[in-house]
Amino acid sequence: MRTKARNKVERIPKRGHYDAPTIHGILDSACIAHVSFADAGGQPFVIPMLYAREGECLYLHGSIASRLMKTVGSGIAACACVTLVDGLVLARSHFHHSMNYRSVVVFGTAEPVTDASEKAAILARFVDAILPGRAAEARAADRNELKATSLLRFHIEQASAKIRSGGPKDDPADATLPIWSGVVPIAQRHAEPIAAEDATPGVPVPASVLRLLD
């Protein structure tokens, strides 16, 4: 049986962080979590999902038919990982090639949110988590849409962040090799918006989207 804390970073522990500002900062800078769980037969799954964070909870939403929503919503132990990639780390040796990244692993259990008005309010926050200000611009979920949507509140019981930054860590013996080494930063950006093929004529690009492009 594993006696170590399940969220203790063992490999390169100086890259591990456990404080809420670091963990929340990474969670709030991303929007996709890879959620892992095992079904009743022990089959493991990893499923990428959008999420929204509020306090020490992640909200996950999906079809009421979704295996993840049903299985994780039953309260079994689950785990999720969020990753931001910041750069390619190119070393002189194959061995020391790496990535700069910020990642978070969370452990916990989830429960369904069933109250219709609470569900509608959280789903609106969910939309804002993806694009701030968007919920107020779009139509809220109606009764049928709420019924067709399962919403889970995942309580974060334990979490870890792991951060790699900086240049390659080449071996001193390789220092004079005539091989370029360094970092290629990776930046995500939003490109020019593309209106839907059936976009309502005459409706301008909304403020939420324009703010993205500033």
Chain positions contacting ligand FAD, by CB under 6 A = 6-11, 83, 85, 99, 101, 103-105, 160-162
Ranges of H-type helices in the chain: 20-29, 67-73, 116-130, 134-137, 143-148, 207-213
Distances (CA, A) of 136 to 127, 131, 141: 9, 11, 12
Minimum CB distance to ligand FAD, residue 157 (Å): 11
Minimum CB distance to ligand FAD, residue 75 (Å): 20
Minimum CB distance to ligand FAD, residue 22 (Å): 11
Q: How far apart are CA 103 and CA 107, in angstroms?
A: 14
Looking at the Cβ atoms of 61 and 162, the one nearer to ligand FAD is 162
Amino acid at site 180: W
The residue among 50, 47, 51 whose CA lies nearest residue 68 is 47
Minimum CB distance to ligand FAD, residue 48 (Å): 14
Looking at the Cβ atoms of 104 and 135, the one nearer to ligand FAD is 104
Residue 57: helix, strand or coil by DSSP?
A: strand
Minimum CB distance to ligand FAD, residue 37 (Å): 15
DSSP letters for 146-174 = HHHEEEEEEEEEEEEEEEE-SS----GGG
Q: How far apart are CA 107 and CA 115, in angstroms?
A: 25
Looking at the Cβ atoms of 91 and 141, the one nearer to ligand FAD is 91
Looking at the Cβ atoms of 129 and 161, the one nearer to ligand FAD is 161
State the residue for tokens 């909304």.
206
Minimum CB distance to ligand FAD, residue 207 (Å): 33
CA trace torsion 124, 127, 131, 137 (10° rounding)? -60
Looking at the Cβ atoms of 166 and 193, the one nearer to ligand FAD is 166
Looking at the Cβ atoms of 62 and 87, the one nearer to ligand FAD is 87
Q: Which residues pair with 88 in a beta bridge?
A: 99, 184
